[in-house]
């Protein structure tokens, strides 16, 4: 955590869900639930479990002190157990952490922290998706230059572009919502030998008390749960990165089709005229941290035998940082959308930059029905090159061309070069994305 950089790179409510305080709460919740589960299975007296739960809930624990003490044993659970035992005291203190190993508690805490953070993150994603839907509906018919390889291609609508981002965000949210968070409880080597015949019953009660899934068996070195979560978060970050980057490009001075409008935002330290799309930039910056963090978590899947020597430990910070940065990316994208001003006039002006060449494909298709494909292509291409060279408007050049003008009237050429009349199924696709989004909301 950084007071200097976090306001930009760890913004939004997910940050608090992965803080040291949140992790400590997860560890203590796991210890309390373990004691309660062992009482449920008749392993320890109920009053001992109640005492452990009370201290876990109301005791005073210092994350910094526990972190410092963890270097002696290699994880924070061990010093926490020692402190919890001391505060519980008496006979109940002797059954704190009974049958568990440190990784059981840390992994279960990781699942609790992740599940809680994902719930908050999904709320933010849904808010962002709703804003995309609102804008897409508003701009269903707003004609815009489509761009491929950063060059103008055929016309699209801004609503279609927004619908594409909405669809991606909805798909990423569905994958994230499908994540299953399971408890970890296997004891020293994954057999729960110290709990004897009560092991399965304790595992089941443990999961039930925490509201997490019960795994078929311990997963100390089988890390697909972490990998799946990393992949889902990476996918969401990628969707955000794509939308944010496009918004930054559309806000360029030379393009000027969108802008972020917010008091006191977007300035420069040296250039008074600058109006930077800082929220979209921050969204992009946060989202671009995801690939490296995902790679680290995937790389840590290679773990030895029953307990890993280092790879497990390598997961802790990247997992928290991936949740934090993804949450920040979604937060800033929503901020950018809330600040967004769409310049429909500029979009129309940009369509005319090529003097009509944007629709040359359509003219070629219409002409080819009369003359043949190759002849039509060559004639329209020649006129288009002249228009791009500034020799005149494409419509006039086409009408004056012997082949083109001989088959297509000036009026027909004008109709063919109207970008608003060559949008294909854009409106249908926007409607389908909006319908799918509303259906999701009704079933989620």
Q: For residues 169 and 243, what is the distance between their CA atoms, to the nearest angstrom?
A: 10
Q: For residues 100 and 310, what is the distance between their CA atoms, to the nearest angstrom?
A: 20
Q: Which of 176, 140, 47 is nearest to 440 (CA)?
A: 176
Q: For residues 426 and 159, what is the distance between their CA atoms, to the nearest angstrom?
A: 8
Q: Which of 182, 327, 110, 324 is nearest to 240 (CA)?
A: 327
104 within 8 A of 311, measured Cβ to Cβ: no
DSSP string, 382-421: HHHHHHHTTSS-HHHHHHHSHHHHHHS-HHHHHHHT-GGG
Point out the catalytic residue in the list 82, 307, 386, 427: 307
268 is catalytic: yes
Sign of the torsion formed by the C-alpha atoms of 376, 378, 379 and 383: positive
Q: For residues 99 and 39, what is the distance between their CA atoms, to the nearest angstrom?
A: 13
Q: For residues 200 and 298, what is the distance between their CA atoms, to the nearest angstrom?
A: 30
DSSP E strand stretches across 307-388 = 340-342
Q: For residues 62 and 48, what is the distance between their CA atoms, to the nearest angstrom?
A: 23
Place of tokens 């963890």: 70
116 is catalytic: no
Sign of the torsion formed by the C-alpha atoms of 330, 118, 299 and 5: positive
Q: Which of 322, 334, 230, 226 is nearest to 18 (CA)?
A: 322
Neighbours of 271 (CB within 10 A): 9
Q: How far is CA 57 from the centre of its chain?
A: 32
Q: For residues 161 and 258, what is the distance between their CA atoms, to the nearest angstrom?
A: 13
DSSP string, 161-217: HHHHHHHHHHHHHHHHHT---B----TTTTS-GGGGGGHHHHHHHHHHHHT-BPPSS
Q: Which two tokens stand for residue 326?
A: 């993804």
Point out the catalytic residue in the list 194, 268, 409, 425: 268
Active site residues: 268, 307
């Amino acid at each position: 955590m950084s007071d200097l950089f976090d306001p930009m790179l760890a913004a939004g409510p997910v940050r608090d869900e992965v803080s040291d305080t949140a992790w400590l709460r997860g560890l203590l919740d796991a210890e309390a639930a373990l004691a309660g589960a062992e009482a449920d299975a008749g392993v320890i007296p109920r009053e001992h479990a109640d005492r452990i739960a009370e201290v876990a809930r109301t005791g005073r624990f210092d994350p910094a002190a526990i972190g410092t003490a963890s270097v002696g044993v290699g994880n924070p659970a061990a010093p926490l157990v020692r402190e919890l035992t001391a505060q519980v005291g008496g006979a109940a203190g002797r059954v704190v952490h009974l049958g568990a190993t440190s990784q059981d508690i840390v992994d279960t805490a990781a699942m609790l922290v992740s599940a809680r953070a994902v719930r908050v993150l999904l709320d933010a994603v849904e808010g962002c998706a709703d804003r995309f839907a609102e804008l897409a509906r508003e701009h269903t018919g707003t004609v815009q230059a489509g761009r491929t390889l950063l060059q103008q291609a055929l016309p699209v609508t801004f609503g279609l572009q927004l619908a594409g981002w909405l669809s991606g965000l909805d798909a990423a949210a569905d994958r994230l919502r499908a994540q299953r968070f399971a408890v970890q409880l296997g004891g020293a080597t994954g057999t729960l030998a110290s709990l004897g015949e009560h092991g399965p019953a304790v595992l089941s009660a443990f999961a039930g008390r925490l509201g997490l899934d019960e795994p078929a068996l311990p997963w100390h070195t089988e890390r697909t749960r972490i990998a799946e979560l990393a992949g889902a978060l990476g996918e969401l970050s990628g969707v955000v990165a794509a939308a944010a980057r496009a918004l930054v490009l559309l806000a360029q001075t030379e393009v000027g089709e969108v802008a972020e409008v917010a008091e006191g935002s977007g300035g420069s330290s040296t250039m008074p005229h600058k109006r930077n799309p800082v929220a979209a930039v921050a969204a992009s910056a946060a989202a671009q941290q995801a690939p490296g963090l995902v790679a680290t978590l995937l790389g840590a899947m290679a773990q030895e035998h029953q307990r890993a020597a280092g790879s497990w430990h390598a997961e802790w910070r990247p997992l928290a940082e991936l949740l934090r940065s993804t949450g920040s990316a979604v937060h800033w994208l929503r901020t950018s959308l809330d600040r967004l001003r769409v310049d429909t006039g500029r979009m129309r002006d940009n369509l005319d930059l090529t003097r009509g060449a944007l629709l040359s494909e359509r003219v070629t298709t219409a002409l080819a029905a009369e003359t043949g494909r190759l002849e039509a292509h060559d004639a329209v291409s020649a006129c288009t090159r002249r228009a791009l060279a500034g020799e005149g408007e494409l419509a006039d050049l086409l009408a004056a061309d012997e082949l083109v003008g001989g088959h297509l009237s000036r009026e027909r050429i004008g109709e063919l070069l109207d970008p608003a009349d060559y949008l294909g199924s854009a409106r249908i696709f926007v409607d389908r994305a909006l319908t799918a989004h509303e259906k999701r909301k009704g079933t989620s």
